[in-house]
Chain A
Amino acid sequence: MINNLIRNSVRFIVLVLLQVLIVQNIRLGSYIILFPYVLFILLLPFETPKLVVLFASFFIGLTIDMFYDTAGIHAAACTMIGFARYYILKLLSPREGYDPGLIPNVESMGPVWFITYSAIIIFIHHLFFFYLEIFRFDEFFRTLLRVLLSTIGTFCFVYIVQFLFYKADRNK
């Protein structure tokens, strides 16, 4: 339990720093904006209490808001996926349920499951984030395009980055 807490805190800090120091400087045009920090929420262990997930999401959102000067937008989008994660996990649950002690990554759940899971969550996050950021509907399709392209971009990034935390988890 304590071990888990430490591991997730480290992941929290690493991902926030990755987002703020490195990814923020990757500029791929105005349509692809990467937010791989959502990987933190994606990789929270299955048995984490849902309220803890919610608060953790809210907290990482606020932290990113602090750096991005977006005041509450990231927090709102993250809280949304923290909330949605519970239902998505339920929906994607295998017949015999999740094995305790696992975290939802490629290694434990297989690529197909992980791709479905992370794509849905990243899409919800980006949908919320970009529409809240623009806060009106008169650039509806442009924002939608931005959501789709950024989802693809973030997904690719997340898929690669989650291998970073791969080995540490196997060694436990």
Chain B
Amino acid sequence: MKNLLNFLYRNNFFFVFLLLEIICFLILIKNNGYQGSSLLNSSNKISAKVYEVEADAKEYLLLKDENERLAKMNTFLLNRIKLGYAAIPLKTYTVHDTLYKQEYEFMSGKAINSSVNKRNNYLTLNIGSAQGVTNDMAVITSDGIIGIVKDVSENFSSVMSILHKDVRVNCQLKKDASYGPLIWDGSDYRFSNLTDIPTHAKIKKGDTVITSSLSGIFPEGILVGFVESYEQRPNESFYTVKVRLSADFKKVNHVSVIKYNYKTERDSLEIKSQVQSDK
């Protein structure tokens, strides 16, 4: 017995080490059971307090992100309310003025279908003849021109977008009013070509392109896009200008349909004089 105690005493370092390791393993094994020792996990007073302080500090650092997240959530919810309860205004806005005659009337509608990747692209609007839409009306968004109404049913209308081989809208450079038809070549929905621009026009990249009153459909001065590049093609005496369209055709949602009040009068006059001169 004395020898044993002696032995233990001489090797106390090793035995204390062994004892501590055994304690560690006991804790480890005990903690694997159902009743984990509550003293040694992060739910005890000290570590819980430290973590609480840490979380508080972190919360302050993340306030900005949190605010942004809340703001986003708010906008999202507000949008939901608006969509849910506000009726889409389908009224026509008319102004009676004795000095100025109203040439164009605007109606708002919503694109419920659209495409950009076909050769001839169409949009469908949720307003139709019942709301006063007829053929050959112009369609724009707040960003730029979209297209021309082609067919109308009672509550819907079909719109040829300017991304269509048959749509030629007369457009002009805002700077010097050189005009020409805007024709889409079918490649990229973000660009279209403004053709027949005289070579004396001084074009710069970034110049604004707007609609011209020559089209007879669009009011003058509606934004079309910006000059991306221009070239004189072989055997042509005009410039072809590549225009970056300002309207994003992938995100068309709310649109305005434009009614030209004197369209019939203008068309019949133009046709009449043509017929007369042909005679």
Whether A54 contacts B20 by the Cβ 8 Å rule is: yes
Residues 72-92 of A at the B interface (beta carbon under 8 Å)? 72-73, 75-76, 79-80, 82-83, 86
Q: Does B78 contact A (CB under 8 A)?
A: no
Which chain B residues border A72 with CB–CB below 8 Å? 23-28, 31, 40
Which chain B residues border A50 with CB–CB below 8 Å? 13
Which chain B residues border A62 with CB–CB below 8 Å? 40
Whether B17 contacts A79 by the Cβ 8 Å rule is: yes
Whether B20 contacts A79 by the Cβ 8 Å rule is: yes
Q: Count chain B residues whose beta carbon lies closer than 8 angstroms to a beta carbon of A.
A: 27
B24-51 interface bits toward A, Cβ cutoff 8 Å, 1 = contact, 0 = none: 1111101100001101111010110011
Q: Does A107 contact B (CB under 8 A)?
A: no
Q: How far is the CB of B83 from chain A (nearest CB, A)?
A: 40
B-side binding surface: helix, strand, loop or mixed?
helix
Residues 17-31 of A at the B interface (beta carbon under 8 Å)? 17, 20-21
Q: How far is the CB of A85 from chain B (nearest CB, A)?
A: 11
Which chain B residues border A65 with CB–CB below 8 Å? 27, 40
Q: Please count the residue pairs between chain A and chain B whose beta carbons lie under 8 angstroms apart in the complex.
A: 75
Whether B13 contacts A54 by the Cβ 8 Å rule is: yes
A61 and B24 contact, Cβ closer than 8 Å, known pairs A54-B13, A54-B17: yes
A69 and B41 contact, Cβ closer than 8 Å, known pairs A20-B50, A21-B50, A58-B20: yes
Say which residue of B13, B21, B46 sits within 8 Å of A76 (CB atoms).
B21
Which chain B residues border A68 with CB–CB below 8 Å? 42
Which chain B residues border A165 with CB–CB below 8 Å? none
Whether B28 contacts A76 by the Cβ 8 Å rule is: yes
Which chain B residues border A73 with CB–CB below 8 Å? 24, 28
Say which residue of A51, A69, A132 sits within 8 Å of B12 (CB atoms).
A51
Q: Does B176 contact A (CB under 8 A)?
A: no
Q: Does B265 contact A (CB under 8 A)?
A: no
29 contacts between A and B (CB under 8 A): A17-B50, A21-B50, A51-B13, A54-B16, A54-B17, A55-B16, A58-B20, A61-B24, A65-B40, A66-B39, A66-B40, A66-B41, A66-B42, A66-B47, A67-B42, A68-B42, A71-B28, A71-B30, A71-B31, A71-B41, A72-B27, A73-B24, A73-B28, A75-B24, A75-B27, A76-B21, A76-B24, A79-B17, A132-B28
Known: A71-B30, A71-B37. 17 other contacts (CB 8 A): A20-B51, A51-B16, A54-B13, A54-B17, A54-B20, A58-B23, A58-B24, A62-B40, A65-B27, A66-B44, A66-B46, A71-B27, A72-B27, A73-B24, A79-B20, A79-B24, A132-B28
